[in-house]
Protein backbone atom coordinates (compact mmCIF):
# COMPACT_ATOMS: atom_id res chain seq x y z
CA UNK A 1 0.00 0.00 0.00
CA UNK A 2 1.50 3.30 -1.13
CA UNK A 3 1.57 6.27 1.22
CA UNK A 4 1.17 9.65 -0.48
CA UNK A 5 1.92 13.22 0.67
CA UNK A 6 -1.06 15.31 1.86
CA UNK A 7 -3.54 16.04 -0.94
CA UNK A 8 -3.12 19.81 -0.59
CA UNK A 9 0.63 19.42 -1.07
CA UNK A 10 0.12 17.25 -4.14
CA UNK A 11 -2.40 19.69 -5.62
CA UNK A 12 0.00 22.60 -5.14
CA UNK A 13 2.70 20.76 -7.09
CA UNK A 14 0.56 19.20 -9.79
CA UNK A 15 -1.56 22.25 -10.65
CA UNK A 16 1.43 24.54 -11.11
CA UNK A 17 1.55 25.77 -14.70
CA UNK A 18 -1.79 24.20 -15.66
CA UNK A 19 -3.61 26.31 -18.24
CA UNK A 20 -6.87 25.44 -19.99
CA UNK A 21 -7.67 28.88 -21.34
CA UNK A 22 -11.07 28.45 -19.67
CA UNK A 23 -11.90 29.01 -15.99
CA UNK A 24 -14.80 26.54 -15.91
CA UNK A 25 -12.71 23.70 -17.34
CA UNK A 26 -9.94 24.45 -14.87
CA UNK A 27 -12.37 24.42 -11.93
CA UNK A 28 -13.89 21.11 -13.01
CA UNK A 29 -10.54 19.40 -13.66
CA UNK A 30 -9.08 20.68 -10.39
CA UNK A 31 -12.09 19.31 -8.50
CA UNK A 32 -11.83 15.93 -10.24
CA UNK A 33 -8.09 15.67 -9.64
CA UNK A 34 -8.52 16.40 -5.94
CA UNK A 35 -11.17 13.68 -5.70
CA UNK A 36 -8.87 11.17 -7.41
CA UNK A 37 -5.97 12.05 -5.12
CA UNK A 38 -8.17 11.71 -2.04
CA UNK A 39 -9.31 8.29 -3.22
CA UNK A 40 -5.70 7.25 -3.86
CA UNK A 41 -4.71 8.36 -0.38
CA UNK A 42 -7.57 6.37 1.15
CA UNK A 43 -6.95 3.18 -0.82
CA UNK A 44 -3.16 3.36 -1.22
CA UNK A 45 -3.59 2.75 -4.96
CA UNK A 46 -1.58 5.18 -7.13
CA UNK A 47 -3.11 7.10 -10.00
CA UNK A 48 -2.29 5.94 -13.53
CA UNK A 49 -0.99 8.93 -15.47
CA UNK A 50 0.18 9.17 -19.06
CA UNK A 51 1.26 11.39 -21.87
CA UNK A 52 1.69 10.37 -25.49
CA UNK A 53 4.57 11.40 -27.75
CA UNK A 54 4.59 10.85 -31.50
CA UNK A 55 8.11 9.92 -32.66
CA UNK A 56 8.12 12.27 -35.65
CA UNK A 57 11.86 12.73 -35.13
CA UNK A 58 14.54 10.84 -33.23
CA UNK A 59 15.30 13.63 -30.77
CA UNK A 60 13.52 15.39 -27.93
CA UNK A 61 13.61 19.17 -27.59
CA UNK A 62 12.80 21.41 -24.63
CA UNK A 63 9.14 21.59 -25.63
CA UNK A 64 8.80 17.84 -25.01
CA UNK A 65 10.18 18.21 -21.50
CA UNK A 66 7.24 20.33 -20.31
CA UNK A 67 4.84 17.37 -19.99
CA UNK A 68 7.74 15.06 -19.09
CA UNK A 69 8.54 17.18 -16.03
CA UNK A 70 4.92 16.99 -14.92
CA UNK A 71 5.01 13.20 -15.32
CA UNK A 72 8.15 13.15 -13.18
CA UNK A 73 6.32 15.09 -10.47
CA UNK A 74 3.58 12.45 -10.43
CA UNK A 75 6.29 9.79 -10.12
CA UNK A 76 7.94 11.55 -7.21
CA UNK A 77 4.56 11.76 -5.46
CA UNK A 78 4.17 7.98 -5.76
CA UNK A 79 1.92 7.61 -8.82
CA UNK A 80 2.26 5.30 -11.83
CA UNK A 81 3.44 6.90 -15.08
CA UNK A 82 3.04 5.58 -18.62
CA UNK A 83 5.29 7.01 -21.32
CA UNK A 84 3.23 6.30 -24.43
CA UNK A 85 4.94 6.33 -27.80
CA UNK A 86 2.58 7.05 -30.68
CA UNK A 87 3.92 4.41 -33.04
CA UNK A 88 0.49 4.27 -34.71
CA UNK A 89 -0.74 7.85 -34.30
CA UNK A 90 2.67 8.98 -35.54
CA UNK A 91 1.95 7.32 -38.88
CA UNK A 92 -1.07 9.63 -39.29
CA UNK A 93 0.28 12.90 -37.92
CA UNK A 94 -1.30 15.11 -35.28
CA UNK A 95 -3.01 18.15 -36.88
CA UNK A 96 -3.54 19.93 -33.53
CA UNK A 97 -0.94 22.67 -34.05
CA UNK A 98 -1.01 22.71 -37.85
CA UNK A 99 -2.88 24.70 -40.48
CA UNK A 100 -1.93 22.13 -43.12
CA UNK A 101 -1.81 18.34 -43.20
CA UNK A 102 1.22 16.68 -41.64
CA UNK A 103 3.45 14.33 -43.56
CA UNK A 104 2.78 10.70 -42.67
CA UNK A 105 5.51 8.23 -41.78
CA UNK A 106 5.82 4.45 -41.76
CA UNK A 107 5.59 2.28 -38.67
CA UNK A 108 9.21 1.20 -39.19
CA UNK A 109 10.34 4.85 -39.22
CA UNK A 110 8.29 5.57 -36.08
CA UNK A 111 9.84 2.60 -34.25
CA UNK A 112 13.34 3.64 -35.29
CA UNK A 113 12.80 7.17 -33.97
CA UNK A 114 11.27 5.78 -30.79
CA UNK A 115 14.52 4.09 -29.76
CA UNK A 116 16.50 7.31 -29.27
CA UNK A 117 13.39 9.21 -28.28
CA UNK A 118 12.74 6.93 -25.31
CA UNK A 119 16.33 6.92 -24.09
CA UNK A 120 16.36 10.71 -24.05
CA UNK A 121 13.08 10.78 -22.09
CA UNK A 122 14.86 9.06 -19.22
CA UNK A 123 16.90 12.22 -18.72
CA UNK A 124 13.69 13.53 -17.13
CA UNK A 125 11.70 10.45 -16.12
CA UNK A 126 12.73 7.82 -13.58
CA UNK A 127 13.68 4.82 -15.71
CA UNK A 128 12.81 2.32 -12.96
CA UNK A 129 9.34 3.78 -12.38
CA UNK A 130 8.25 4.34 -15.99
CA UNK A 131 6.07 1.99 -18.01
CA UNK A 132 6.74 2.39 -21.75
CA UNK A 133 3.87 1.54 -24.14
CA UNK A 134 3.34 1.68 -27.92
CA UNK A 135 -0.11 2.47 -29.25
CA UNK A 136 0.21 0.42 -32.45
CA UNK A 137 -0.37 -2.59 -30.19
CA UNK A 138 -4.08 -1.77 -29.82
CA UNK A 139 -4.83 0.78 -32.56
CA UNK A 140 -3.43 -1.57 -35.21
CA UNK A 141 -5.87 -4.25 -34.05
CA UNK A 142 -9.06 -2.18 -34.47
CA UNK A 143 -11.44 -3.35 -37.17
CA UNK A 144 -13.26 -1.00 -39.53
CA UNK A 145 -16.38 -1.63 -37.47
CA UNK A 146 -14.49 -0.54 -34.34
CA UNK A 147 -13.50 2.71 -36.04
CA UNK A 148 -17.11 3.38 -37.06
CA UNK A 149 -18.15 2.78 -33.46
CA UNK A 150 -15.60 5.32 -32.20
CA UNK A 151 -16.57 7.87 -34.85
CA UNK A 152 -20.26 7.63 -33.91
CA UNK A 153 -19.50 9.55 -30.71
CA UNK A 154 -18.59 12.76 -32.55
CA UNK A 155 -20.02 15.15 -35.14
CA UNK A 156 -18.28 16.85 -38.05
CA UNK A 157 -19.33 20.20 -36.54
CA UNK A 158 -17.38 19.41 -33.37
CA UNK A 159 -14.20 18.96 -35.41
CA UNK A 160 -14.79 22.06 -37.52
CA UNK A 161 -14.92 24.24 -34.38
CA UNK A 162 -11.22 23.49 -33.82
CA UNK A 163 -9.17 26.57 -34.64
CA UNK A 164 -6.79 24.94 -37.11
CA UNK A 165 -9.57 23.14 -38.99
CA UNK A 166 -11.86 26.18 -39.05
CA UNK A 167 -9.10 28.34 -40.54
CA UNK A 168 -8.39 25.82 -43.27
CA UNK A 169 -12.11 25.35 -43.95
CA UNK A 170 -12.62 29.12 -44.22
CA UNK A 171 -9.73 29.42 -46.67
CA UNK A 172 -10.94 26.49 -48.72
CA UNK A 173 -7.78 24.50 -47.93
CA UNK A 174 -8.11 20.70 -47.83
CA UNK A 175 -8.86 18.91 -44.57
CA UNK A 176 -8.10 15.25 -45.07
CA UNK A 177 -10.47 12.71 -43.56
CA UNK A 178 -7.66 10.80 -41.85
CA UNK A 179 -6.87 13.94 -39.81
CA UNK A 180 -10.26 13.62 -38.09
CA UNK A 181 -9.29 10.11 -37.05
CA UNK A 182 -6.33 11.34 -35.02
CA UNK A 183 -8.51 12.57 -32.14
CA UNK A 184 -10.39 9.25 -32.16
CA UNK A 185 -7.13 7.32 -31.91
CA UNK A 186 -5.71 9.48 -29.14
CA UNK A 187 -9.01 9.22 -27.32
CA UNK A 188 -8.91 5.43 -27.61
CA UNK A 189 -5.43 5.40 -26.07
CA UNK A 190 -7.02 6.56 -22.82
CA UNK A 191 -9.56 3.72 -23.03
CA UNK A 192 -6.87 1.11 -23.76
CA UNK A 193 -4.62 2.32 -20.94
CA UNK A 194 -7.53 2.87 -18.50
CA UNK A 195 -5.93 6.06 -17.20
CA UNK A 196 -6.79 8.41 -14.37
CA UNK A 197 -4.94 11.45 -15.73
CA UNK A 198 -3.62 12.54 -19.13
CA UNK A 199 -1.05 15.29 -19.66
CA UNK A 200 -0.83 17.44 -22.80
CA UNK A 201 -0.35 20.88 -24.30
CA UNK A 202 -3.18 23.41 -24.55
CA UNK A 203 -3.38 22.64 -28.28
CA UNK A 204 -4.24 19.03 -27.33
CA UNK A 205 -7.35 19.86 -25.28
CA UNK A 206 -9.79 18.64 -27.96
CA UNK A 207 -8.00 15.29 -28.24
CA UNK A 208 -7.79 14.87 -24.47
CA UNK A 209 -11.48 15.63 -24.09
CA UNK A 210 -12.18 13.06 -26.81
CA UNK A 211 -10.56 10.53 -24.50
CA UNK A 212 -12.97 11.50 -21.71
CA UNK A 213 -15.93 11.12 -24.05
CA UNK A 214 -14.86 7.68 -25.25
CA UNK A 215 -14.17 6.49 -21.70
CA UNK A 216 -17.69 7.52 -20.71
CA UNK A 217 -19.07 5.75 -23.79
CA UNK A 218 -17.24 2.57 -22.71
CA UNK A 219 -18.67 2.83 -19.18
CA UNK A 220 -15.50 3.86 -17.34
CA UNK A 221 -14.81 6.95 -15.25
CA UNK A 222 -13.43 9.69 -17.57
CA UNK A 223 -9.83 10.73 -17.08
CA UNK A 224 -8.74 14.04 -15.62
CA UNK A 225 -6.90 16.14 -18.19
CA UNK A 226 -4.15 18.64 -17.40
CA UNK A 227 -2.92 20.93 -20.18
CA UNK A 228 0.03 23.27 -20.22
CA UNK A 229 1.07 26.31 -22.26
CA UNK A 230 3.10 25.79 -25.41
CA UNK A 231 6.83 26.50 -25.25
CA UNK A 232 7.78 28.96 -27.98
CA UNK A 233 10.75 28.28 -30.22
CA UNK A 234 13.96 30.22 -30.68
CA UNK A 235 12.15 32.54 -33.11
CA UNK A 236 10.10 33.80 -30.15
CA UNK A 237 6.76 33.30 -31.88
CA UNK A 238 6.00 29.81 -33.17
CA UNK A 239 5.67 26.64 -31.15
CA UNK A 240 9.04 24.93 -30.66
CA UNK A 241 9.42 22.28 -33.33
CA UNK A 242 12.32 20.58 -35.05
CA UNK A 243 10.46 20.73 -38.37
CA UNK A 244 10.34 24.53 -38.25
CA UNK A 245 13.99 24.78 -37.21
CA UNK A 246 13.34 26.72 -33.99
CA UNK A 247 14.05 24.00 -31.44
CA UNK A 248 16.61 23.46 -28.68
CA UNK A 249 17.39 19.74 -28.46
CA UNK A 250 18.12 18.30 -25.02
CA UNK A 251 20.84 16.16 -26.65
CA UNK A 252 22.64 19.17 -28.12
CA UNK A 253 26.05 20.20 -26.81
CA UNK A 254 25.98 22.32 -23.63
CA UNK A 255 27.53 25.28 -25.44
CA UNK A 256 24.95 25.13 -28.21
CA UNK A 257 22.06 25.06 -25.73
CA UNK A 258 23.60 27.90 -23.73
CA UNK A 259 24.08 30.22 -26.72
CA UNK A 260 20.64 29.42 -28.13
CA UNK A 261 19.03 30.43 -24.84
CA UNK A 262 21.16 33.59 -24.66
CA UNK A 263 19.90 34.50 -28.13
CA UNK A 264 16.21 34.21 -27.19
CA UNK A 265 14.05 37.32 -27.43
CA UNK A 266 13.65 38.99 -24.02
CA UNK A 267 9.88 38.52 -24.01
CA UNK A 268 10.27 34.71 -23.96
CA UNK A 269 11.92 34.68 -20.53
CA UNK A 270 8.72 34.05 -18.54
CA UNK A 271 7.60 31.27 -20.91
CA UNK A 272 10.91 29.40 -20.59
CA UNK A 273 11.39 30.09 -16.88
CA UNK A 274 7.96 28.77 -15.94
CA UNK A 275 7.96 25.74 -18.23
CA UNK A 276 11.49 24.29 -18.34
CA UNK A 277 13.32 25.26 -15.13
CA UNK A 278 13.43 23.89 -11.61
CA UNK A 279 12.94 27.39 -10.21
CA UNK A 280 10.12 28.15 -7.79
CA UNK A 281 7.37 30.50 -8.92
CA UNK A 282 8.52 32.91 -6.22
CA UNK A 283 12.03 33.07 -7.72
CA UNK A 284 10.61 33.57 -11.23
CA UNK A 285 8.27 36.35 -10.06
CA UNK A 286 11.14 38.07 -8.25
CA UNK A 287 13.36 37.95 -11.35
CA UNK A 288 10.58 39.33 -13.54
CA UNK A 289 10.00 42.15 -11.05
CA UNK A 290 13.74 42.93 -11.06
CA UNK A 291 13.75 43.05 -14.87
CA UNK A 292 10.69 45.30 -14.92
CA UNK A 293 12.30 47.67 -12.41
CA UNK A 294 15.51 47.82 -14.45
CA UNK A 295 17.61 46.25 -11.70
CA UNK A 296 18.24 43.01 -13.64
CA UNK A 297 19.48 43.16 -17.22
CA UNK A 298 17.39 40.81 -19.42
CA UNK A 299 20.59 39.38 -20.90
CA UNK A 300 21.88 38.48 -17.42
CA UNK A 301 18.51 36.89 -16.64
CA UNK A 302 18.80 34.80 -19.80
CA UNK A 303 22.34 33.82 -18.83
CA UNK A 304 20.96 32.45 -15.55
CA UNK A 305 18.21 30.72 -17.52
CA UNK A 306 20.77 29.20 -19.91
CA UNK A 307 22.87 27.92 -16.99
CA UNK A 308 19.80 26.34 -15.38
CA UNK A 309 18.71 24.56 -18.56
CA UNK A 310 22.19 23.22 -19.36
CA UNK A 311 22.57 22.08 -15.75
CA UNK A 312 19.31 20.09 -15.91
CA UNK A 313 20.44 18.01 -18.89
CA UNK A 314 24.25 18.06 -18.65
CA UNK A 315 25.11 18.89 -15.03
CA UNK A 316 26.60 21.87 -13.17
CA UNK A 317 30.15 21.41 -14.49
CA UNK A 318 28.98 21.50 -18.11
CA UNK A 319 26.84 24.54 -17.34
CA UNK A 320 29.81 26.36 -15.81
CA UNK A 321 31.96 25.55 -18.85
CA UNK A 322 29.21 26.66 -21.26
CA UNK A 323 28.89 29.96 -19.39
CA UNK A 324 32.64 30.50 -19.58
CA UNK A 325 32.68 29.64 -23.29
CA UNK A 326 29.84 32.08 -23.90
CA UNK A 327 31.84 34.79 -22.16
CA UNK A 328 34.89 34.01 -24.27
CA UNK A 329 32.83 34.03 -27.46
CA UNK A 330 31.49 37.46 -26.53
CA UNK A 331 35.08 38.60 -26.16
CA UNK A 332 36.05 37.04 -29.49
CA UNK A 333 37.68 33.79 -28.33
CA UNK A 334 36.91 30.30 -29.65
CA UNK A 335 34.87 27.93 -27.40
CA UNK A 336 36.82 25.14 -25.73
CA UNK A 337 34.63 22.45 -27.30
CA UNK A 338 34.93 23.71 -30.89
CA UNK A 339 35.48 20.80 -33.31
CA UNK A 340 38.82 20.36 -35.11
CA UNK A 341 39.46 19.75 -38.80
CA UNK A 342 42.91 18.69 -40.02
CA UNK A 343 44.27 19.75 -43.42
CA UNK A 344 47.52 18.59 -45.02
CA UNK A 345 47.96 21.14 -47.79
CA UNK A 346 45.59 23.75 -49.12
CA UNK A 347 41.81 23.51 -49.42
CA UNK A 348 39.15 25.78 -50.87
CA UNK A 349 37.09 27.61 -48.26
CA UNK A 350 33.80 26.32 -49.69
CA UNK A 351 35.03 22.72 -49.66
CA UNK A 352 36.27 23.08 -46.09
CA UNK A 353 32.94 24.48 -44.86
CA UNK A 354 31.07 21.60 -46.46
CA UNK A 355 33.51 18.87 -45.34
CA UNK A 356 33.38 20.12 -41.75
CA UNK A 357 29.58 20.20 -41.76
CA UNK A 358 29.37 23.96 -41.24
CA UNK A 359 27.23 24.28 -44.37
CA UNK A 360 25.23 21.86 -46.51
CA UNK A 361 26.08 23.18 -49.97
CA UNK A 362 28.36 25.56 -51.87
CA UNK A 363 25.43 27.89 -52.50
CA UNK A 364 24.73 28.16 -48.76
CA UNK A 365 28.43 28.79 -48.09
CA UNK A 366 28.58 31.52 -50.76
CA UNK A 367 25.47 33.18 -49.38
CA UNK A 368 26.93 33.30 -45.86
CA UNK A 369 30.16 34.81 -47.19
CA UNK A 370 28.25 37.41 -49.21
CA UNK A 371 26.32 38.33 -46.07
CA UNK A 372 29.55 38.82 -44.10
CA UNK A 373 28.80 35.85 -41.87
CA UNK A 374 32.14 34.04 -42.26
CA UNK A 375 35.33 35.03 -40.43
CA UNK A 376 38.80 33.48 -40.65
CA UNK A 377 41.16 34.21 -37.77
CA UNK A 378 38.92 37.10 -36.75
CA UNK A 379 38.78 38.72 -40.20
CA UNK A 380 35.62 38.79 -42.33
CA UNK A 381 36.00 36.68 -45.49
CA UNK A 382 34.92 38.45 -48.67
CA UNK A 383 36.19 36.08 -51.39
CA UNK A 384 34.29 32.78 -51.76
CA UNK A 385 37.20 31.45 -53.81
CA UNK A 386 39.72 31.84 -51.01
CA UNK A 387 41.96 28.91 -50.20
CA UNK A 388 43.18 27.96 -46.75
CA UNK A 389 46.66 26.49 -46.33
CA UNK A 390 47.91 24.72 -43.23
CA UNK A 391 50.27 26.65 -41.00
CA UNK A 392 52.75 24.42 -39.18
CA UNK A 393 52.48 24.70 -35.42
CA UNK A 394 49.67 27.24 -35.52
CA UNK A 395 45.93 26.59 -35.44
CA UNK A 396 43.49 28.71 -37.42
CA UNK A 397 39.91 29.55 -36.48
CA UNK A 398 36.96 29.62 -38.86
CA UNK A 399 33.70 31.15 -37.61
CA UNK A 400 30.40 30.74 -39.44
CA UNK A 401 27.56 32.85 -38.09
CA UNK A 402 27.46 33.59 -34.37
CA UNK A 403 27.68 30.07 -32.98
CA UNK A 404 29.63 27.75 -35.29
CA UNK A 405 33.38 27.55 -34.85
CA UNK A 406 36.02 25.30 -36.37
CA UNK A 407 39.61 24.90 -35.25
CA UNK A 408 41.80 24.22 -38.33
CA UNK A 409 44.88 22.17 -37.50
CA UNK A 410 47.73 20.68 -39.53
CA UNK A 411 47.40 17.02 -40.48
* Span of 95-104, 253-262, 277-286, 332-341 with lowest mean pLDDT: 95-104
> b/e string for 93-113 if b means 16 or more Cβ within 10 A?
bbbbbbeebbeebeeebbeeb
Question: Once rounded to an integer, what is the mean pLDDT over residues 326-341?
Answer: 70
Residue 97 pLDDT level (bands cut at 50, 70, 90): very low
- For 36-56, how does the pLDDT look when each residue is reduced to its tens digit (9 = 90+)? 999 999 999 999 999 998 887
Question: Once rounded to an integer, what is the mean pLDDT over residues 246-250?
Answer: 90
Question: Once rounded to an integer, what is the mean pLDDT over residues 13-34?
Answer: 91
The span from the CA of 79 to the CA of 405, in Å, is 45
Q: How many Cα atoms occupy the beta-carbon half-sphere of 109 within 13 Å? A: 12
CATH class of this structure's domain 340-410: alpha beta
The span from the CA of 121 to the CA of 52, in Å, is 12
**Maximal CA-CA distance, the chain:** 77
pLDDT for the residue 178: 76
Domain map (residue ranges) of the chain: 7-228, 254-330, 340-410
Tell me the pLDDT of the chain averaged across its residues.
Answer: 86
pLDDT for the residue 98: 46
Residue 15's nearest CA partner among 282, 228, 212 is 228
More confident residue, 206 or 5: 5
Q: E strands within 209-324?
A: 224-228
The span from the CA of 408 to the CA of 396, in Å, is 5
CATH superfamily of 7-228: HUPs (3.40.50.620)
C-alpha angle with apex 355: 354 to 361, nearest 5 degrees?
20
Residue 16 has pLDDT above 80, yes or no: yes
State the CATH architecture for 254-330.
Orthogonal Bundle (1.10)
More confident residue, 411 or 287: 287
Amino acid sequence: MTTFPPVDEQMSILMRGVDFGDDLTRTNMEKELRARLEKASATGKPLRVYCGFDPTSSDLHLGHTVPLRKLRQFQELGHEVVFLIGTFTGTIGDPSDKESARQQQTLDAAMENARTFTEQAFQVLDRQKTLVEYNHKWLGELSFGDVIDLASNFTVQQFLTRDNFSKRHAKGDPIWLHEFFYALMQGYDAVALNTDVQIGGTDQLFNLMAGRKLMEAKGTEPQVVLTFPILVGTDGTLRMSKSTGNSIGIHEAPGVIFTKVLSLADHTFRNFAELVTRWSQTKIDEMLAEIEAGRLNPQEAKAQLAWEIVSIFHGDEAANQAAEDARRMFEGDIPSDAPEHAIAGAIGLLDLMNEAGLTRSNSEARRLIQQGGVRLNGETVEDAGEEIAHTAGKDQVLQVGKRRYLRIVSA
